[in-house]
Amino acid sequence: MIIMKFGGTSVGTPQSIANVLQLVQQRRAEDPVVVVSAFSGVTNALVELGNSAPRGAADLGPITLRHRQMLADLRLPGDLLDPLLGELADLTRGMQLVKEASPRAMDLLLSYGERCSARVVAAYFTAQGMPAVAVDAFAAGLRSDSNFGRARPVPDDGRIARAIDEARQTGLPVITGFLAADKHGNITTLGRNGSDYSAALFGNALDVREIQIWTDVDGVMTADPRLVEGTRPIPTMSFGEASELAYYGGKVLHPATILPAMQKNIPVRVLNTHRPDSPGTVILPRYSEPGVPVRAVVHKPGIHLITLVSPPMLQQHGFLARVFAAAAEHEVDVDLVATSEVSITMTADRADHLQGFRDALGGLGEVSVESGHAMVCVVGQGIAAEPGVAAQVLGTLAEHRVRVRVISQGAIKVNIALVIDQADLARAVNALHRRFFG
Ligand code: ADP
Ligand code: ASP
Ligand code: MG
């Protein structure tokens, strides 16, 4: 069995859905289970809808039209999505009436993107002679906590394999990515880009031979091709490198994707739906490329720098424990940390809980929060063995007059991460990419 996950652009047009059918048909012998995202742009449109509904102005028109047009173009029954689109209209109306979009209602609203796309893809496969069945991940046993908007899965006890086995009696399963359900049956989402994570979770639960992530680029690239010129695909990476890359902003994979694959040593392959013959990237449990310490340069915009200055920190036991207890209490994910005798600087990428964290730290010393920063990270397992990579990184940034605010290189040395001004981001990432891949 293999998982074939198709992202939004891979199912964004009738032509790309026809491509997807061909790709799946060609791999019929490998027993594919398909995971799909919403059509490209639909999740963004739903987020917009949810944000505007409480203010009274919610226009469902473009979303409905997009799906109806897709049905027409694929020659599928025009009323196929009427039940779902009807529910979506009711929910939107409800949000308008109560003037509220709670995180729980927002996840329910977002779920319609994947629920619609899975139905369209399954119906199209069936109409073209390959019987398929749409499967809602939340009905197929994918359970999560109730952290709406960024839910985390809870351990599976065989429910998923049983549900998918049953679905396979009817046809090839086309599962909704991005979605799960909490213990009360509420639909949750796994965070933006979460369909990659879904693919890995189903891959793990079904013990597949390979998890394939089909997207719109030729694999995991040496940097984000939208920001950097001259990027190229990385043929092979290790789980360790790919997790660091995903965590530090390599948007091609949701940050948590590698973990479920790693637990069962399942290779992850990243491929281009629009150029299926290009070899893509394979991510393996262990891999090293001698003499190539740096494998990719990734970045993450929208970083907040939190600095706490506290002279009493000097030689005080348990100080850092108190700082991180406050972070845990306010659900702030701290990415990087740098400390000195009297200060600690941390980064976080979500602003929504920062105020509470800031207030809590206020009791420990003087706090400042600076926004408008970005993280740049140089990833590669060989960084550990090669002396001087950090010097090359800092030298290159200095040459391009990029001011570095925080530096972090762990003892495991799979990466070197830096915080810079967001205004310098494109210059910094391009310069580093030229330095290591030019
Ligand atoms: P999908 O809809 O298939 O999930 P995404 O847009 O989520 O696709 O992810 C693919 C995009 O990730 C690419 O189009 C590219 O712009 C971006 N990206 C960022 N960093 C990288 C990288 N290192 N390698 C490949 N793509 C990257
Ligand atoms: N549709 C969701 C999003 O746009 C999940 C995904 O595409 O992976 O974030
Ligand atoms: Mg994605």
Q: Is residue 187 part of a domain?
A: yes
Could you give the angle at which helices 61-73 and 103-127 cross, rounded to 10 degrees?
A: 10
Give domain status of residue 286, yes or no: no
Q: Are residues 200 and 340 in the same domain?
A: no
Into how many domains does the chain fold?
2
Comparison of pLDDT for 315 and 286, the residue scoring more: 286
CATH code of residue 373: 3.30.2130.10
Host H or E run for residue 146: none
Residues 202 and 56 in one domain: yes
Protein residues within 5 Å, CB atom, of ion ligand 3? 7, 193
Residue 261 lies inside a defined structural domain of this protein: no
Answer yes or no: do 206 and 313 share one domain. no
Looking at 216, 237, 255, which one is the last position of a domain? 216
Mean pLDDT of 208-220: 98
Residues 88 and 191 in one domain: yes
Write down the pLDDT at residue 387.
87
Q: What is the per-residue pLDDT for 57?
A: 84
Residue 98 belongs to some domain of the structure:
yes
Asked if 144 and 188 touch (Cβ cutoff 8 Å), the reply is yes
Is 73 within a domain? yes
Q: Is 126 in the pocket of ligand 2 (CB under 6 A)?
A: no
Domain range enclosing 165: 2-216
Q: Whose CA is nearest to atom 21 of ligand 1?
A: 224
Lowest mean pLDDT among 166-170, 241-245, 339-343: 339-343
Residues 205 and 316 in one domain: no
pLDDT, residue 314, reads 64
* pLDDT at residue 315, rounded to an integer: 67
**Rounded CA gap, 434 and 438, in Å?**
4
Has residue 252 been placed in a domain? Answer: no
Verify that 321 and 196 share a domain, yes or no: no
* Start-to-end Cα distance in the chain: 39
In a domain, residue 230? The reply is no
Question: What is the mean pLDDT of the segment spanning 102-130?
Answer: 98
**216, 235, 264 — which closes off a domain?**
216
The pTM of this model reads 0.95
| Ligand 1, pocket-test mutation among 9, 17, 217, most atoms within 8 A of CB | 217
Pairing relationship of beta strands 281-284 and 296-309 according to DSSP bridges = unpaired
Atom 5 of ligand 2, nearest CA residue: 193
Residues whose beta carbon lies within 6 Å of some atom of ligand 1: 7-10, 37, 193, 215-217, 220-221, 223-226, 250-252, 296, 298
Closest-CA residue to 413 (of 301, 295, 334): 295
Instruction: Return the pLDDT at 1.
Output: 98
> Same domain, yes or no, for 193 and 105?
yes
Residues 186 and 308 in one domain: no
pLDDT-derived band at 2 (thresholds 50, 70, 90) equals very high
Whether 192 is in the pocket of ligand 2, judged by its Cβ within 6 Å, is yes
Q: If DSSP codes are grouped into helix, strand and coil, which group holds residue 60?
A: coil
Is residue 272 in a domain? no
Q: Is 49 helix (H, G, I), strand (E, B) or coil?
A: helix
Domain end, chosen from 187, 216, 245, is at 216
- State mean pLDDT over 259-275: 97
The enclosing domain of 208 has a CATH number of: 3.40.1160.10
Same domain, 193 and 337: no
- Do residues 180 and 303 share a domain? no
What is the percentage of the chain residues whose pLDDT exceeds 90? 86
Same domain, 68 and 180: yes
User: Residues 75, 204: one domain?
Assistant: yes
C-alpha closest to that of 271 among 1, 9, 72, 88: 9
